[in-house]
Chains A and B, each alone.
Chain A
Amino acid sequence: MTDYIPSHLMVVAAAREIADGEIVFVGMRLPLLGFLLAKSTHAPHAVGVYELGVVRDDMAPAPILTMGDLPNLYRALWLADTADMMGLLQSGSVDVSFIGGAQVDRFGNLNTSYIGGVENVQTRLPGSGGACDLASLARRHIIIMAHERRRFLPRVDYITSPGYGDGPGWRERVGLPRGGPSAIITTLGIFRFDPGTSETVLSSLHPGVTVEDVQAHTGWPLRLAQDLVRTPPPTARELAMIARFDPSGYWTRANE
């Protein structure tokens, strides 16, 4: 029995979403670690694109806390403008991106701007950054967030990063060129999206978690995948890698 915490499982699950050779728009926090883990295990040829103007095809030579740390620039494949990175995204060259959020709904819309909405703001959050662009323009995107009932709502208060809007056909109707969320990785399990209804389907339960646990923390009636599976726990090798990338536990142990 290997010792791990939910954030380790989320990093591992994020890494498993990356196929070798894919162009990955890398976000902050756990997705950053997920990308590094994928690079160092099954996806050595994945290329990382960072919105501040960095493209890398190998590992940074030292641990980084954020994408702007100088080791992430060292022997980069390309250092350029944010507009160049966004051009890769907008022209359809990015396979997958990762984003987090404060609120998500059953169509995968994300709010990282206004709890309570614009008119009746209760909590102002930092805003989109590049998240709206990643959700709008990547070929697919993956959402990573803590699974709490106040975060998993029937409807988000504000759409910072569009998922499937109000259902099938919405992205096409509003004019988004492609993409949409392909998974929500949470502290309890993994949702995927029904291609017919664009709604979340619980597809994987993390070890020790029950369907009832997930329902208790989700603000809409769960739909279960026919082949609902158990998320494989992190291997010792994966945990060792994560410890190398996040030696102080700054991100993996942030919420402990």
Chain B
Amino acid sequence: MCRGFFTSVERMSTSKLISLSEAIGRFVPDGSSVAAGLGLEASIPFAAGHEIMRQRKRGLGLIGPISDMLFDQMIGAGCVHRVQAAWVGNVITGSGYNFRRAVESGALRVEDHSNLTIAMALKAAAMGVSFMPVRTALGSGLFVAHPGLKPIACPFTGTPLAAVAAIAPDVALIHVQRADESGSAHVWGNLGVMRDACLAARHVVITAEEIVPAAVIVSDPNRVIIPGFRVSAVCHVPWGAHPAPVAGCYNRDHRAFIEYRNASRTPEAFVRWQERWVDTPKSRDDYLRLLGAERMSELVLRNHLFPAPVDYGY
């Protein structure tokens, strides 16, 4: 009788816990396609994005739905030559000025998506098929000179559809509440397109508020956004999504988004912003020191809500 099957099986896994600078150095080579900002407004991986800027990565393709201001920052830093996204700007202030300047000068290639088409492009790659059908955007400008969108007819009913070509990123960057050393990660709150982007990507790099034992992760498997065997690197980066909000951890720092609007209006001002917030801090710890304990304390949760326990037993 195979007694071992019924006893607690130690999960065999090698640790993928490395520093953020090593993870970006190894898994985001120049020219990569990088999916980020996948929680829409939530849990945007600002620490990972700033490390990409600090390492002066070049020729990246960015993939995302609503990137908030992270894409604008990476574009301003000269890291990006192509964007496949539904929206690039600053959610509470509007335009992304670096994005505007780059497109208007012809320096940046853009494939315009909607939130639904980018979600389905990632879904297609996650499912291992070459496209997904949608009913959105028909007749819109999105189809103009777009290699990834095509009107088709349903092979069964003849209904007009749009085919959205799969997008498989080289790497997906996500920020999570907690992960174990193998990369199995818990996320809660709104999920955006995180799950499909992780399944679609060749590599997944995780920044986590907290590194926890594997037993914590498997105690609540419904909360796993991606299993560790699909993850390439795990980095312990508390406050790694600031100024974006992270459910259970900290609120959105609206002030940072408003300050960034002013700091990105001109290329000169943006250079100063990057110097202050990205290049001078050599690590996320330095960044948090710059931010200051007082400002961080304004963002922590004041009203907690713990769910009713569930029973995964048998």
B195/A81 in contact, CB under 8 A: yes
Q: Which of A179-201 contact B (CB under 8 A)?
A: none
B138/A174 in contact, CB under 8 A: yes
Q: Which residues of A contact B92 (CB under 8 A)?
A: 65-66, 250
Report, as a range, how many residues of chain B touch the other chain. 35 or more
Shortest CB-to-CB span from A167 to chain B, Å, is: 12
| Separation of A162 and B138 alpha carbons in the complex (Å) | 8
A129/B254 in contact, CB under 8 A: no
| Separation of A70 and B299 alpha carbons in the complex (Å) | 11
A132/B192 in contact, CB under 8 A: no
Q: Which of B184-202 contact A (CB under 8 A)?
A: 188-196
Query: Quick one: given A52-B41, A81-B195, are A126 and B96 in contact (CB under 8 Å)?
Result: yes
| Separation of A162 and B134 alpha carbons in the complex (Å) | 15
Query: Quick one: given A65-B254, A83-B119, are A128 and B193 in contact (CB under 8 Å)?
Result: no
- Interface: A216 (CB within 8 A): no
| Separation of A89 and B119 alpha carbons in the complex (Å) | 14
Q: Which residues of A contact B301 (CB under 8 A)?
A: 70
A68/B91 in contact, CB under 8 A: yes
Q: Which of A112-128 contact B (CB under 8 A)?
A: 113-114, 118, 121-128
B139/A130 in contact, CB under 8 A: no
- Interface: B160 (CB within 8 A): yes
Q: Mark B140-158, 1 if CB is under 8 A from A, else 0.
A: 1110110000010000000
Q: Which chain B residue shows the least CB distance to A132?
A: B114
Shortest CB-to-CB span from A224 to chain B, Å, is: 28
Q: Which of B151, B189, B196 has the most chain A CB atoms inside 10 A of its CB? A: B189
| Separation of A165 and B138 alpha carbons in the complex (Å) | 10
B190/A128 in contact, CB under 8 A: no
Looking at the complex, which one of A50, A75, A128 makes contact with B114 (CB distance below 8 Å)? A128
Q: Which residues of B contact A90 (CB under 8 A)?
A: 116, 134-136
Shortest CB-to-CB span from A229 to chain B, Å, is: 32
Q: Which chain B residue shows the least CB distance to A79?
A: B190
A-B contact count (CB 8 A): 185
Q: Which residues of A contact B245 (CB under 8 A)?
A: 68-70
Report, as a range, how many residues of chain A touch the other chain. 35 or more
Q: Which chain A residue shows the least CB distance to B258?
A: A250
Shortest CB-to-CB span from A103 to chain B, Å, is: 12
A136/B100 in contact, CB under 8 A: no
| Separation of A83 and B94 alpha carbons in the complex (Å) | 24
B91/A28 in contact, CB under 8 A: yes
Query: Quick one: given A68-B252, A70-B245, A82-B191, are A118 and B87 in contact (CB under 8 Å)?
Result: no
Q: Which residues of A contact B135 (CB under 8 A)?
A: 90, 136-137, 175-177
Looking at the complex, which one of B42, B95, B142 makes contact with A125 (CB distance below 8 Å)? B95
Shortest CB-to-CB span from A72 to chain B, Å, is: 9
Q: Which of A33-58 contact B (CB under 8 A)?
A: 50-54
A129/B86 in contact, CB under 8 A: yes
Q: Mark B160-187, 1 if CB is under 8 A from A, else 0.
A: 1110000000000000000000000000
Q: Which residues of B contact A51 (CB under 8 A)?
A: 40, 66, 115
A127/B138 in contact, CB under 8 A: no
B139/A124 in contact, CB under 8 A: no
A52/B192 in contact, CB under 8 A: yes
Q: Which residues of A contact B189 (CB under 8 A)?
A: 70, 73, 79
Q: Which residues of A contact B20 (CB under 8 A)?
A: none
Q: Which residues of A contact B247 (CB under 8 A)?
A: 70, 73
B94/A126 in contact, CB under 8 A: yes
- Interface: B137 (CB within 8 A): yes
Looking at the complex, which one of B42, B94, B113, B120 makes contact with A52 (CB distance below 8 Å)? B42
Q: Which chain B residue shows the least CB distance to A130?
A: B115
- Interface: A97 (CB within 8 A): no
Query: Quick one: given A83-B119, A113-B141, are A127 and B190 in contact (CB under 8 Å)?
Result: no
A130/B191 in contact, CB under 8 A: no
Shortest CB-to-CB span from A147 to chain B, Å, is: 18
Looking at the complex, which one of A65, A69, A128 makes contact with B112 (CB distance below 8 Å)? A128
A136/B140 in contact, CB under 8 A: yes
Q: Mark B271-314, 1 if CB is under 8 A from A, else 0.
A: 00000000000000000000000000000010101000000000
Q: Which of A90, A125, A161 has the most chain B CB atoms inside 10 A of its CB? A: A125
Shortest CB-to-CB span from B115 to chain A, Å, is: 4
Q: Which residues of A contact B66 (CB under 8 A)?
A: 51-52, 129
26 contacts between A and B (CB under 8 A): A52-B190, A53-B190, A61-B303, A66-B41, A66-B91, A68-B91, A68-B190, A70-B189, A70-B251, A74-B303, A81-B191, A81-B194, A81-B195, A83-B116, A121-B104, A123-B100, A124-B104, A126-B99, A128-B112, A129-B65, A129-B114, A133-B115, A158-B144, A162-B137, A175-B160, A175-B161
Q: Which B residues are within 8 Å of any A CB, using their own CB?
A: 39-42, 65-66, 85-89, 91-92, 94-96, 99-100, 103-104, 112-116, 119-120, 123, 134-142, 144-145, 151, 159-162, 188-196, 244-245, 247, 251-252, 254, 301, 303, 305
Since A53-B190, A174-B138 are in contact, a sample of 17 more A-B pairs with Cβ atoms closer than 8 Å, ordered by chain A residue number, is A50-B190, A51-B115, A65-B252, A68-B244, A70-B247, A79-B188, A79-B190, A81-B192, A82-B115, A83-B116, A114-B141, A132-B140, A133-B137, A136-B137, A158-B141, A160-B141, A162-B139
